[in-house]
Amino acid sequence: TWMAGAEFKIREGRMQVAKPGKPKFVREANHITFSAKEALRLGKKVFYVTNVGAFQLTSQGLQLIGIMPGIDLKRDILQACPAQVLLPGGAVPVVDGSILTGNGFRLEWPG
């Protein structure tokens, strides 16, 4: 999840932060079980998928690559996260609402 102790609700196909919690993305970690920096150095792609959106770690930092419908970019992500979140040029793509409701959702494996 995006925040420890938070409560999220799905209403009419939109994600809502019903009760904010403590952000899990921080500037510095006390304990590391997976080194994303090392994975990047080895040429791996690193993604973090949460209930507010999807992020990709790049050489410049953490970039938001998709936002859940109903999530307020400024309030629910940028102001709630102590780590710097990079935004793509232009608007952040909104994730298809079917992933929240299941209506019309289809999981396909490429290839």
Write out pLDDT tens, residues 17-61. 999 888 776 666 676 778 888 999 999 999 999 999 999 999 999
Q: Is residue 110 part of a domain?
A: no
Number of helices (H) and strands (E) in the chain: give both, helices first. 2, 8
Q: Is residue 109 part of a domain?
A: no
pTM for this structure?
A: 0.82
Q: Is residue 95 part of a domain?
A: yes
pLDDT in tens, 63-99: 999 999 999 999 999 999 888 999 998 899 999 989 8
Which CATH number fits the domain that encloses residue 86?
3.40.1080.10
Q: Are 86 and 77 in contact (CB under 8 A)?
A: no
Decide: helix, strand or coil at residue 2: coil
Domain around 7 = 3-28+35-101
Q: Is residue 52 part of a domain?
A: yes
Q: Is residue 111 part of a domain?
A: no
Q: Is residue 23 part of a domain?
A: yes
Sign of CA dihedral 57, 86, 67, 5: positive
